[in-house]
Chains A and B, each alone.
Chain A
Amino acid sequence: MSQNAHDEARAGVWRQALSVAIATGAYAISFGALGVSAGLSVAQTCALSLLMFTGGSQFAFAGVAASGGEPLTAVTTAALVGARNGFYGLQMAPLLRARGLRRLIAVQLTIDESTAVGSAQTVTHPDRPELARLGFWATGGGVFILWNAATALGAIIGEVLGDPRRYGFDAAAAAAFLALLWPRLRDSDARWIGLAAAVVALGAVPVVPGGVPVLAAGTVALAAAWWAARKHRGPAPAESGSAESEEAPQ
């Protein structure tokens, strides 16, 4: 890999990675505080950031814990919310070409932000795959360090402060999910599926135990998402040829 000390494109990728890492990391303070307010210990909250390391799933897990849900419900909800990471891996693996331990680390760092910054370079610099790799590693690594540090800080603050409702942490959780959802609402299918899922979840709250309403909504969303995705499908893609990513990660 040849590189120039004054490579402006590389510097740009670093700047992007750093700003994303700081913004996302700061957000983990709220996850730390919400984790302990949901009844998880400080250690469990930190373990989620270290080992699960994908914000949406972590918030979902804490959300089910807070509503008194069963462990299996929490596991299933976290897995469903994290399903998109599988598609990010599919997208990033051919660019990274990592093997052995490097690959395992790449797997853990495969999240919205690292994929977004990495794959953005393939659009702006299609002739320089090393920039995509740099974007992925710098963003994933930066977010990982700051996300975990901020989670620990938030968990300790949350435990010291006590009653989470007094500080509006429960409302912060709703706002956090809305912020994650927001960029996806540009899509009209996402808007009606989101609305339907919300209605199903709220309708289920009085009749089923905690955590299950979101899971029920997820099942409806899965069916609707599959139907909507098939509806708009164009002609069948050719059997061989270049892999083409259809949807940029948010």
Chain B
Amino acid sequence: MIGWTGVLLACLAVFAIKLAGHLAPQRLLERPDVTRAAGLLTAGLLAALVAVQAVATADRLQVDARLPALAVAAIALWWRAPFIVVVALAAITAAGLRALGLP
């Protein structure tokens, strides 16, 4: 259970990162490897979050209605659907499959 301390600490940490960027010396921008590594790190973290949200529970891997829903989301993204449509399609797919009895 994450309480208010965790919520506020996380907000503070993220604000500190934003502030650091505004106050940092500009010559860091001349380090393309630094900015590129930051972009790649974000991609890696997001991919891990996708995987865990799609096929994991708290302590094990589990294939259920989320995986086909994610596939629908991927197809929607391929067709350049807007964010909200992608998210809604995934929710509708999972909700529909569960109504049909899938876990």
In the assembled complex, the CB of B47 is this many whole angstroms from the nearest CB of chain A, namely 3
Task: Point out the residue from B36, B43, B47, B86 that lies within 8 Å of A179, measured CB to CB.
Answer: B86
- Check: A221 CB closer than 8 A to any chain B CB: yes
Task: Point out the residue from B15, B42, B51, B86 that lies within 8 Å of A202, measured CB to CB.
Answer: B51
Interface residues of B in 30-67 (CB under 8 A from A): 30-61, 65-66
Name the B residues within 8 Å of A229 (CB-CB): 32-34, 36-37, 40
Q: Which one of A2-10, A121-129, A164-172 contacts B?
A: A164-172
Name the B residues within 8 Å of A108 (CB-CB): 15, 18
CB pair A221–B91 under 8 Å, yes or no, is: no
CB pair B33–A110 under 8 Å, yes or no, is: no
Task: Point out the residue from A30, A80, A171, A205 that lies within 8 Å of B66, measured CB to CB.
Answer: A171
Which residues of A line the B interface, CB within 8 A? 23-24, 26-27, 29-30, 39-40, 44, 47-48, 51-54, 56-57, 59-61, 63-65, 67-69, 71-72, 74-75, 77-94, 103, 106-108, 110, 165-182, 184-185, 187, 189-190, 193-202, 205-206, 210, 213-214, 217-218, 220-222, 224-226, 228-230, 232-234, 237-239, 241, 243-247
Q: List 16 A-B contacts (CB under 8 A).
A: A23-B84, A67-B58, A74-B2, A74-B6, A85-B14, A107-B22, A108-B18, A171-B69, A174-B69, A181-B46, A185-B43, A205-B60, A229-B32, A230-B37, A234-B32, A237-B32
